[in-house]
Amino acid sequence: MCVDQVYADPLFRSFTGKESFDELLAAFRRIYVKTWTTAPLRQVLRNGVNWMIPDDHDFTNNADSWMLTSHLAQLLLAGKRAFQEYQLQLRVDLFDPATGQLLPGADDSSPAGFSRVVGNTALLFVDTRVQRTYHFEPEAPLFGRRQFHDIQTSVATWGRDPAIDHIFVLSPTPFFINPESSAHLVYFMEKEVLTSHPQVSNDTDQFLQTLLPFRDKVLILGGDIHAYLNTSLCHLSSSAAEPSSASDYHHPCLSQISTSGISNGSAVINSLKLTLFTATWTFFTTNKIRGWAYTHHDAYLAENFVELSIEGPARSVRLVHGELTTIQRVVMFFFTYSVELCGVSLALTTIIILKKLLAK
């Protein structure tokens, strides 16, 4: 399961700063119990292999390192402990159940990112939230030096291994799906750092270049954006002499799928503000950043998830979604054809103005 296993935002809204650590931790635990005991999630937890990577809502909205030196520090620390108890301990033992203390030799800074190999498929779970919130490194702000070294080593090993046909990169957030201007706006409005923000865009660039030599094996899967996007990330100044496949055309490209969210009311289409913002950076801004160009081939704004099928060296991705309401169909129509509709509106406005001028 990738990104926002729980939504702890209600704790932020009710937070007064007077709560003790134990009270906050108890509140986080109640949210986990309430969320994970709902009927649909019980089925997921019961019947699937559960490897989890968190994002901000597991702690608080837009969780970041600056909060640890603010009045929100206690809230974030309680959120981290709950994450360790409910998510991280699926992979590593940390606490003595009798005392609640760290086990001898356990590391409180155990990384949230990890990897697994299943048959011919390597799964790289990339942490873009815990490291930069709780263990921020100015020289490696997005991944941290330790995680990025592990990423480089793992990707190079899998990329050269003929037994590995697929490298799936699972990330809480997608990479370079919008321009720097959008990242500045989001940071101004919400203090959230997108991967295209200058604070972390260099790390993003280096990360994508690590994946690029093995692009035929790589598929990036991201969440967070409350919509579906099928995106190509093409490196405009790559030193790669020849494209590795016909899909590379003139520049080598990575494939990226963004998908979220599943729960009712969690999608962009339910907010006019988010729909307009998404249309702006999808259709009406530059698609280039730090030597990369991104192209969104498909977009879907309502609740969704994807089914990923593997058969030997072949793979396929299928978008799954429910029925749209009439209003949602209208919104999707205007979103999908916004460029054409703006062009028609501009042309009609120009004709009307010219007619009035000529009439005079």
Q: What is the pLDDT of residues 310-354, one digit of tens each?
A: 999 999 999 999 889 999 999 999 888 876 777 777 677 777 777
Q: How far apart are CA 88 and CA 76, in angstroms?
A: 16
Q: How far apart are CA 78 and CA 11, in angstroms?
A: 11
Least confident of 70-74, 146-150, 279-283: 279-283
The pLDDT value given to residue 1? 61
In the block, residue with structure tokens 């999908």? 336
The mean predicted confidence, pLDDT, of the chain is: 90
Domain shared by 136 and 57, yes or no: no
The SS3 assignment for 256 reads: strand
**Final residue belonging to a domain, choices 84, 110, 136:** 110
Six-digit token string for 29: 């635990």
Q: Which residues pair with 222 in a beta bridge?
A: 171, 258
What is the percent of the chain with per-residue pLDDT over 90, rounded to a whole number?
A: 68
Q: Which helix (H) or strand (E) element contains residue 297?
A: strand 292-300
Domain shared by 86 and 122, yes or no: no
Q: Which helix (H) or strand (E) element contains residue 219?
A: strand 218-222
Domain shared by 253 and 340, yes or no: no
The SS3 assignment for 19 reads: coil
Is residue 359 predicted with pLDDT exceeding 90?
no
Domain shared by 136 and 42, yes or no: no
In the block, residue with structure tokens 């159940």? 97
Q: How far apart are CA 23 and CA 188, in angstroms?
A: 32
Q: Which domain holds residue 40?
A: 1-110
User: CB neighbours of 49 closer than 8 A, spacing ≥ 6?
Assistant: none
**Final residue belonging to a domain, choices 75, 110, 145:** 110
Q: How far apart are CA 345 and CA 349, in angstroms?
A: 6
The pLDDT value given to residue 239? 52
Over residues 88-95, mean pLDDT? 89
In one letter, which amino acid is 54? P
In the block, residue with structure tokens 């480089």? 152
Six-digit token string for 16: 């007064």
Q: What is the DSSP string of 302-348?
A: SSEEEEEEEETTEEEEEEEE-PPPHHHHHHHHHHHTHHHHHHHHHHH
**What is the tally of structural domains in the chain?**
3
Domain shared by 89 and 143, yes or no: no
The SS3 assignment for 131 reads: helix
Q: Confidence class of residue 282 from pLDDT cuts 50, 70 and 90? A: confident
The pLDDT value given to residue 168? 98
The SS3 assignment for 98 reads: coil
Domain shared by 102 and 151, yes or no: no
Strand-pair category, 166-171 with 114-118? unpaired
Domain shared by 209 and 238, yes or no: yes
Over residues 3-26, mean pLDDT? 91
Give, in order, the Cα–Cα distances in Å from 212 to each of 179, 229, 238.
20, 20, 9
Domain shared by 77 and 189, yes or no: no
The pLDDT value given to residue 301? 94
Nearest Cα residue to 305 out of 45, 1, 75: 1
8 Å CB contact between 246 and 239: no
Q: How far apart are CA 111 and CA 90, in angstroms?
A: 13
Q: Confidence class of residue 108 from pLDDT cuts 50, 70 and 90? A: confident
Domain shared by 67 and 208, yes or no: no
Domain shared by 68 and 153, yes or no: no
Q: How far apart are CA 233 and CA 246, in angstroms?
A: 15
- pTM for the complete prediction? 0.90
Q: How far apart are CA 62 and CA 193, in angstroms?
A: 8
Is residue 290 predicted with pLDDT exceeding 90?
yes
Domain shared by 124 and 28, yes or no: no
164-193 in b/e burial notation, b at 16+ Cβ within 10 A? bbbbbbbbbbbbbbbbbebbebbbeeeebb
